Amino acid sequence: MRNKNFFQSIKCAVKGILTALADERNLRFDIAAALAVGVLAYAGNLERTEWALLLLVIAAVICAELFNTAVEHTVDIKTDKYDKNAEIAKNTAAGATLVTAGCAVLVGILLFADFERLFLIAGNIAFLPKLRLIAIAVAVFDIALIFIAPLVIKKFRK
């Protein structure tokens, strides 16, 4: 079951991400949170290195969620009855996701828990119509991602 070329590999990877988006609520929450944090980062005028760190932790959380999903499905293929090792594998993978998300939250606190930056973010969103429009658009997109995307993806998957 090897991919014939690079583009087939990309197609399979995108299919995997879309499947996870349709089936995994937590992945949708992670992406919605990442988009919201992106708006805050933009409004807070993050520096290049801060953006890089933020993007790294966002990618780490999403990757951890995808790996967790892969582990859960692989374990489910192997056994359909209770197995202590299956439970350990699933719980450990979920734990890795939790640790990654916890670290991402700490990075977010370090980047944003500065009163000067918080006032800058609030002021920029309040007084810059373009940024306010972006924030509203991201909020609407996040709601659609969480509630509507699974239905749309599942419909096209059939």
Is residue 155 assigned to a domain?
yes
- Name the nearest CA neighbour of 21 among 72, 74, 69: 69
The pLDDT of residue 79 is 79
The reply to whether 86 and 119 lie within a common domain is: no
Residue 140 CA, chain-centre distance (Å), reads 16
Structure tokens at 109: 């606190």
Kindly report, residue by residue over 89-143, the tens digit of the pLDDT: 999 999 999 999 999 999 999 999 988 999 999 999 999 999 999 999 999 999 9
Is residue 8 assigned to a domain?
no
For the cut 80, the answer to whether the pLDDT of residue 158 exceeds it is no
Q: What is the largest CA-CA distance in the chain?
A: 57
**For residues 49-53, average pLDDT:** 98
The reply to whether 66 and 109 lie within a common domain is: yes
For the cut 90, the answer to whether the pLDDT of residue 67 exceeds it is yes
Q: How far apart are CA 44 and CA 80, in angstroms?
A: 49
Q: What Cα–Cα distance (Å) separates residue 128 from each residue in 40, 45, 103, 124, 135?
A: 13, 13, 31, 5, 11
- Domain residues for the domain of 62 are 46-113
Whichever domain contains 91, its CATH number is: 1.10.287.3610
Q: How far apart are CA 151 and CA 69, in angstroms?
A: 19
For the cut 90, the answer to whether the pLDDT of residue 156 exceeds it is no
**For residues 1-20, average pLDDT:** 89
**Side chain identity, residue 57:** V
**For residues 17-24, average pLDDT:** 94
The pLDDT of residue 36 is 96
Please, which pLDDT band fits residue 155 given cuts at 50, 70 and 90? Answer: confident
The reply to whether 101 and 69 lie within a common domain is: yes
> In the chain, how many domains are there?
2
Please, which pLDDT band fits residue 23 given cuts at 50, 70 and 90? Answer: very high
Considering 50, 65, 87, 116, which one is annotated as catalytic?
65
- Name the nearest CA neighbour of 40 among 117, 128, 144, 129: 117
The pLDDT of residue 101 is 97
For the cut 80, the answer to whether the pLDDT of residue 1 exceeds it is no
Q: How far apart are CA 129 and CA 142, in angstroms?
A: 20
Is residue 127 assigned to a domain?
yes
Dihedral sign (CA 60, 12, 91, 89): negative
The reply to whether 74 and 107 lie within a common domain is: yes
**For residues 26-31, average pLDDT:** 96
Q: How many CB atoms are located within 10 Å of the residue 111 CB?
A: 20
Q: Is 24 known to be catalytic?
A: no
**DSSP 3-state of 44:** coil
